[in-house]
Structures are given as structure tokens and as C-alpha cells.
Structure 1
Amino acid sequence: MTLLKRSRIVAALALAGVLAAGVAGAQEMKFFRIATGGTAGTYFPIGGLIANAISSPPGSRACEEGGSCGVPGLIATAVASNGSVANINAINGGTVESGFSQSDVAYWAHSGTGVFEGKGAVEKLRAIANLYPESIHLIASAQSGIKSPADLKGKKVSLDEPGSGTLVDARIILSAYGLTEKDIEPEYLKPNQAADLMRDGNMDAFFFVGGYPAGAIAELATSEDIVVVPIAGPEADKVIEQYGFFAKDTIPGGTYRGVADAAETLSVGAQWVTSADQPDDLVYAITKALWNDNTRALLDSGHAKGKMITKETALSGIGIPLHPGAERFYKEAGLLDAGAAPAK
């Protein structure tokens, strides 16, 4: 079932609930937006799965009756966006209730360092859960001759849109290999747009940070010979040493058509974050719904990265305070000592 169809079903259930419950039922509805990323990436489909799992509009059947196991009266929606930085800015500005962010970007935002230096710390940023590792993809056309990030010099390279975590990490990778944006022909496009240009011979390489397989890359590989460029060696080790949120990772061979060999790379954690202003009881209920058996089944069957979203790793790599509602759930589940920062 497509996300569009799921969204229509959720909307229909919401309308049915309003008609069945009357005005009082309508007043009990709660809306909760999840800012994700571009539609061609991993954030958006994962956001759609989670939104459907935690939603339980008025009038829907109870979990024990075979219906939704979500939060009663909640209608959650996944919203496409420019990515991590934009999502945090939207949460801070109150235009969305929650969003996905790379672990490094969330830390920099909360502490007012890194890409948020001089912009003011987003002190109310809070974590709901760590979701899955995001692999740094550097995709090049086979004819470009690019075999290492060092080979990007003089090439036309897309770094993703302003406001994305990918752009932040792409700049870090370039710097590790002694390059800046002045050494390449930079473009600032989402991976699907960069892939379209690569098909036409107008793009040598592009960065993407997200779970594999990424839809835009998988589609590109069906019509274009591509290379998953390794990000490894002393330069990658330097990045890990300098930035604690990066870890070594591998994109397995066969992930993308025509790419038989595994590619060493780096990864960061994809995390679900919100504001301290969100009600404790609501975030507690949402966190509880995220980790129930119904959601587990949806994640396992809905996306290749879904199986990596587990309660056991929900607190891994979180460098910002937990939301008190989420903290309460993890305490009850006996997981709080698994590396989480305490709520403030």
C-alpha cells in the first residue's frame, strides 16, 4: 500500500470518527506532525510508517479488537522537508510537533555548536528515540572515474539542499580529504534531482545520508552504471576521531544493481526529536505506541530499514536530553540505563 493510500485511509478514518462521535469527538482529536526529508530518501517512508502506527483517529477500533494500537484520538502525519537542520528549525519555531534528525545535527542544535554556532542553542530540543544508522552514500557515475572522495576535485557534485544534514556531513567529508566547495562544481539538490542530472550526463557525483537502499539511488542504478565510492582510510578515521557521532559502516555489495562489492563508509544515527513544550502524557503515549507489537510488524514489513528500528537501540547515541514523556516510558521498560541523556 502506498503512503498516499495510507494517508487517505487515515483521513477517512478521521472523518468517520468525527461523524460518529459528533462535535465532542472532533474536539478530542490531536494532530502530530513528523517532519521527515525529501520523498526520495529514507526519512519520508519511515515517517509514514511511524505516523500510521501511532495514529488512532476517533471512531477507530481498539487495539484488542484488531484495530489500531496507536494513541487514542491521535492523527499523525509525515511531512516532507529539507531534512535535519530544517526539521529542528521547524520544531523550534513551533510549525511542526516533531521531526527526524541526524544525531550530530541534533547535538549541535541543542548545544549551539557546529552548524548552529552563532545562531543560538535550541535548548528545548528533546529526543523521543534513536531509530537506525544512516549511511553516508557517495554515488558517482561509472564513467566519471571517481574512486575516492579525493577524486571529486574539479567534478560536478551535489551536496543536497540547504537545511539538510547531508550537506553538513558532505562538507565534513570534503574537508577530511583536503577539499572545499571551491574545489568542486557544487550543486545543492535532493538525490532524485541529482540522479536525473546524472542520467543526462550532467552530474558526476552526489552525496546522500540515509538508510540503504535509498529509493532514488536504486532507481538510478537500473538505468545508469554507478559506483558507491568508499569513504575509508585515515581520512575517515580522522572524521570519527574529531566527531564522536560518526561510526564505521558498510553498504553491502548487491544493495544497488550493478554494484557487486561492499563499500566502507561512515554513518550517523537517525533520531526522532521533539520539543520540551510537547505534553508529557502525549509523548509518553506516542513512545509507548512506537514500541508496541503492531508497530513492530509495520516496521518489519514496511521498509528495509524498519527491522533496524528496535527498542533495544532506542537510546543509542542520543546526545541531547530525552523528553520527560519518553524518559518515563524507557524507565518503565527498564531501558533508561542504555546510554540516554537525562531529561532536563
Structure 2
Amino acid sequence: MFFKSTPWVAAAAAIVMAASMPSADAANRQFVTIGTGGVTGVYYPAGVSICRMVNKTRNQHGIRCDAAATGGSVYNSNAMANGQLDVGVVQSDVGYKGWHGEPPFRDKLEQMRSLFSLHPESVTLTARKDSGITKLADLKGKRVNIGNPGSGQARTAGELLSSCGIQRSDLALWGELKASEMPDALRDNKQDAYFYVVGHPTANIKDVAVGTDINLIPLQDACVNELVNKHPYFVKSSIPGGLYKGVDKPTPTYGVKATVLTTSALPSQSAYEIVKAVFENLDKFKRLHPAFQVLEKKKMLQGLTAPLHPGAERYYREQGLM
């Protein structure tokens, strides 16, 4: 059976065809997911803050950015390599190992690319004051949270203990809790201490210090100095006093930098726009978390352990930053 075409039928058909065809805007739209870390650390607000800057100008570049809480640096690196994440916040030491194919990575992550670095992160050892822990060697026989498997902090803390002659069997408990679970474990006296590689101040430690007397343990042993001198991604650092209740003096330690990485699969223009959104709104970005207050544009090109993404490099050259 055949129907005679009428003007309204033709118009309706045109509407249906138009609705079924993607618009130019839709065709150019891109969704970018940034892998971060636990919600109580700094990586999660870092990812949220980056996406906030990117999404403010979404109508200009078509990129929609979302931040996802994840297991941390190692997870983010593998997820980017597998195409499950587009961008990830990664500790500089983990990024170095990924690019060079060193453990915990089986193969070199050849597609890894750098966008920029963020805040310095200190290796932080928080202990209950009543645990008797005042130095690294005191951890023997204690209940210590190292970090959840797949996190950069677990890798970093494990490397520190191994370098300083403390084995898994030396601890009464080798904890593998996530960052968000650590304060409650310390507060409830289920653990004596926990490692956290983080920018300061952090709500994680502020939270536990409210109801529990704590110490931040200095990490300045000879074995620590050897570790820092051995690896290019480590630097000496100090946690200022007065950030946490009961901790009035600076705590000497060492650390890494938080870096924002991606892969060569990210389109060059997308990398350009992400970097541009952060750098051209840096003053606003710095107000989104206390750890970001130390950021300076030129220093955000330091501490990168994988090659720059071409899109990021184009922006930096245009701005005279390299």
C-alpha cells in the first residue's frame, strides 16, 4: 500500500531525520573522566577542581569533564593504559615507574603523557600519641596501615620500610585500608599508625586529630636520605606546624609531586583545552583547596616523569612557559 506524500508528512519526516542525526555540537562533544583517589584526600578535590575549570568553558570547546574517586595512582595509571580513564592524578614516583616499566608495572606504559604537576605531597606517618611511636624504627611490633593495594601510597610506604630494614613480618599488622577508612581505624584503636602520601593540610588527618591525640613522625633517618638521593622523583619536604591539633612544630620528611597524566590517545586539542582551562584560571583554582595555594605556573612544569602531551606543549610554548 502506498501513501501520497503531503506537506505535513514531509515536514514530520524532516523533523524525524533531523532528530536522528547528530548536531555539529554533539558530534564535537567529548567526555573526559579524571581518575583521582579517595574522597578524603587531595586527589579527589584536585580532579573535581580541574573539571570545574574545564566545564566552565564547555560551550567553547565541547569537553565535559567528570572526576571519579578511585584506588589511587597505580590504579589510575593502569586504567588510563587500558582506556578506562582519560586523565589521572598520579604520584610522580608512580608515574616514573609506569613510564620506565618498573614494578608494580609489568610493562612500560609507552602511551603515558604529562599535562602538568600540582602540589608537593609529603610522605606522612600519623601515629596515636599513646602508641609509643616517635620514630620510624618504633613501627616494629605495631599495627600500621600501609595503604590499599593499587595506591601510590602503598607502593611508596612499602619501599620506605624495605629500604629502612622493616619487613612485613616485623609489623603486628600490615594494614591495607583505603585512605577514607584510616582515620576511624586509628581513632578506634584498631591501628597504631598509618602512612599517607598527601598534600597538606588534609581533612583526613584533621578529622582524626579532633578526638584523638596524634603525633606526626619525622622521617629523616639515614635510610630515608639514601632513598631520596637514589631516586630523582623524591624531594625533601617539611609539614608545617600548626596545621593539626597537637602538632605545633614542623615535621621533616620527604615526598613526591602530584602530577596530572593522560595518554597519547587523548586528542591534542582536548589536552590543550584542559591545560588552558586550569592555567588561565589558576588564581581561582588555587582557592579551591589549601594545598593548591603554593602553585606557580612554571613550577607546574616541574616533576613530570613522562613526556609532555603535544597539546599541553603547544599551550606552554604559546604562553612562553617553555
Under a length normalisation based on structure 2, what TM-score does the superposition of the two structures give? 0.90
1:194 and 2:182 are equivalent in the alignment: yes
Q: 2:206 aligns with which of 191, 203, 218?
A: 218
Matched with 2:309 is 323
1:175 to 155, 158, 162: 162
Partner SS state of residue 41, structure 2:
coil
1:159 corresponds to: 146
Match for residue 339 of structure 1?
A: none
The aligned counterpart of 1:12 is none
The correspondence for 1:110, drawn from 99, 103, 110, is 99
* Residue pairs, 1:1-344, within 5 angstroms: 23-56=23-56, 68=57, 72-116=61-105, 119-184=106-171, 185-292=173-280, 295-336=281-322
Aligned residues of 1:71 and 1:286 also touching (Cα < 8 A): no
Which digits, 9 at most, give the CA deviation of each residue in 1:59-89, with x for residues without a partner? xxxxxxxxx4885222111110000000000
CA deviation vs aligned residue, 1:253-275 (integer Å, no higher than 9, x gap): 11111111110011101100001
Amino acid at match of 2:188: D
- The amino acid across from 2:47 in the alignment is G
The code of the aligned residue for 2:142 comes to: K
The whole-number CA distance in structure 1 between the counterparts of 2:284 and 2:79 is 27
Q: Secondary structure at the match of 2:37?
A: coil
User: 2: distance between equivalents of 1:71 and 1:168?
Assistant: 40
In 2: Cα distance, 1:301 partner to 1:70 partner: 24
Partner of 2:6: none
Query: Corresponding residue for 2:9?
Result: none
1:25-73 CA-to-partner distances (Å, cap 9, x unmatched) read 44432211110000011100111111110114xxxxxxxxxxx488522
Alignment partners' CA distance in 2, 1:283 and 1:156: 43
**Gapped runs of 5+ residues in structure 1?**
1-21, 57-67, 337-344
Query: Which one has more relative contact order, counting CA pairs under 8 Å at least 6 apart?
Result: 2
**In 2, Cα distance between the equivalents of 1:270 and 1:321?**
15
Q: Distance in 2 between matches of 1:53 and 1:106?
A: 24
In 1: Cα distance, 2:241 partner to 2:160 partner: 22
SS in 2 for 1:283: helix
Secondary structure, in 3 states, of the residue corresponding to 1:128? strand
Larger Cα Rg: Structure 1 or Structure 2? 2
Q: Deviations over 1:87-127 (max 9, x none)?
A: 000000001101010111111101102422xx111100000
Task: Give secondary structure in 2 for the equivalent of 1:302.
Answer: coil
Q: Secondary structure at the match of 1:136?
A: strand
Separation in structure 2 between the aligned mates of residue 69 and residue 120 of structure 1, nearest angstrom: 36
Unaligned runs of 5+ in 2: 1-21
Q: TM-score, normalised by structure 1?
A: 0.84
CA distance in 1, matches of 2:251, 2:24: 56
Q: Considering only aligned residues, what root-mean-square deviation do their CA atoms show, in Å?
A: 1.7
